[in-house]
Amino acid sequence: MKLKITVEGKVYEVDVEVAESEPTSGVRYIQTGATGGSAAPIIMAPAPMAGGEAVADESKVCRSPLAGVVSEVNIEVGQEVTAEQQLLVLEAMKMFTTITSPVAGKIKSIRVEKTNSVKQGQVLVEFE
């Protein structure tokens, strides 16, 4: 596909190749802002990251949308959760990100604990 781009008044014609889109993981999170901040929540659904491990059923896991440190775990194994319910909170560069459940279900396992470092795309929680 050819595009025309203008930079500082000069027009450039560029060829752009469309890459295949990655499937979405269904991971949802709410970014709440910096420490003590009152930023409006932002809901996002990132694509799966290459660093994450492969699982049999992607709809049964919640992955980390970013690298950070677990600051809160608000669930326990066997607990029933609803879609969008808060599961845990990650901290990265003094920003706290609330990780919510992508689905309603029962918690099968929690793969992280408070103070654990996590990578982007890492599985945090498994559902039954």
**Partners of residue 70 on adjacent β-strands:** 90
Domain boundaries, the chain: 21-127
User: DSSP 3-state assignment of 46?
Assistant: coil
User: DSSP 3-state assignment of 112?
Assistant: coil
pLDDT digits (tens, 9 = 90+) for 48-79: 444 567 777 888 999 999 999 999 999 999 99
Neighbour tally for 116: CB within 10 Å:
14
pLDDT digits (tens, 9 = 90+) for 3-19: 888 888 888 888 877 66
Query: CATH assignment of 21-127, given 2.40.50.100, 2.30.30.50, 3.40.50.10860, 3.40.50.12710?
Result: 2.40.50.100
